Amino acid sequence: MSVPVGGGAEAALGAVRARLARARRVAALTGAGVSAASGLPTFRGALGFWREHRAEDLATPQAYARDPLLVWEWYAARFHAAAAAAPNGAHLHLARLEAQLPDFTLVTQNVDGLHARSGSRRVLELHGNLTKSRCERCGHLDALAPGFALPPCCSRCGSRARPNVVWFGEHLPERAFEAAAAAFSRAEVALVIGTSGVVEPAASLGRLAAQRGAVVVEINPEPTPLTPYATLSLRQDAVSGLHALLGPLTPPPG
Ligand code: NAD
Ligand code: ZN
């Protein structure tokens, strides 16, 4: 069922809250909407276009082959925006859940690194991370520093390096996806937050959890293709949705 902001479905929300409080195995899938409150736009939002290019046309191996500098300039702009951004309450709620649960898996499609910066220790980054470059020749990863030169070169062999992200049409890191699928298969509660649910195979994780009988909670101001699989859809932004589900963020113990 869908629960709008201030809607009258408190009973459904209460039941899910109680289930979550009892759960030991929880998995969460996050998308660009989780970083929206940190000022980082989504692909379906302001980042849909950069200069005159569609984001989906820039995040491809074909775009990089055609114009590597253009693609790097876009990633450099996003790198600097992410570096200047601070984690928001949604990131903090998820870091807190990890600390509270014996079996919590955080799977993200985000490449901004904000989950790790908010204290999440173990994050499965399905689409890589824009804070690093990856050598096109030897695969070595280098951390990017503010103001890095374009295109970056590998610190080990000197060859040109590409952004360490997964582009549309590329394969996901196999082990990370397997671990994500295993976590969503065994989860008692699965949270699907701020993702359009159209990028596969990440979106399949929400369906997998539903098929295995998990309580699936979607948090997204808009309906998505994952909505029919959700036990409960909170039509809220990520921060207030997690707040409704988990209660206020209290300072960490100690
Ligand atoms: P998306 O841009 O396709 O969709 C974002 C979703 O978030 C939409 O469904 C939207 O309704 C929802 N949303 C918007 N504001 C929200 C808020 N405040 N709280 C909760 N939900 C909100 O993003 P996606 O589904 O993550 O997938 C597209 C690809 O975009 C991924 O591969 C990802 O790597 C990439 N991406 C990453 C970032 C980032 O790292 N911050 C930013 C933009 C795009
Ligand atoms: Zn190299």
- Phi then psi for 222, rounded to 5 degrees? -115, 150
- Residue count of the chain: 254
* Confidence grade of residue 48 (pLDDT, cut at 50, 70, 90): low
Q: Could you state, in order of their start, the residue ranges of all structural domains in the chain?
A: 1-40+87-127+172-254, 44-84+130-165
Enter the pTM of the model: 0.93
Looking at domain 44-84+130-165, its CATH superfamily turns out to be SIR2/SIRT2 'Small Domain' (3.30.1600.10)
- Give me the catalytic one of 91, 93, 115, 127: 127
Q: Do domains 1-40+87-127+172-254 and 44-84+130-165 have the same CATH topology?
A: no
The closest ligand to the CA of 135 turns out to be 2
d(CA 42, ligand 1 centre) in Å = 4
Whether residue 93 lies in the annotated active site: no
DSSP type of residue 167: P
Binding-site residues for substrate sit at 75, 78
DSSP type of residue 146: T
pLDDT tens, position by position, 95-152: 999 999 999 999 999 999 999 999 999 999 999 999 999 999 999 999 999 999 999 9
- Residue to mutate, 30, 35, 43, 237, ligand 1, most ligand atoms under 8 Å from C-beta: 43
Dig out the tokens for 1 from the structure. 């069922």
Dig out the tokens for 247 from the structure. 């209660």
Rounded to an integer, what distance in angstroms lies between the CA atom of residue 207 and that of residue 23?
19
* Confidence grade of residue 6 (pLDDT, cut at 50, 70, 90): very low
The closest ligand to the CA of 142 turns out to be 2
DSSP sequence for 24-89? SEEEEEE-GGGGGGGTPPPTTTGGGEETTEEHHHHSSHHHHHH-HHHHHHHHHHHHHHHHH----H
Rounded to an integer, what distance in angstroms lies between the CA atom of residue 148 and that of residue 129?
16
**CB of residue 90 inside a 6 A radius of ligand 1:** no
CATH class held by domain 1-40+87-127+172-254: alpha beta
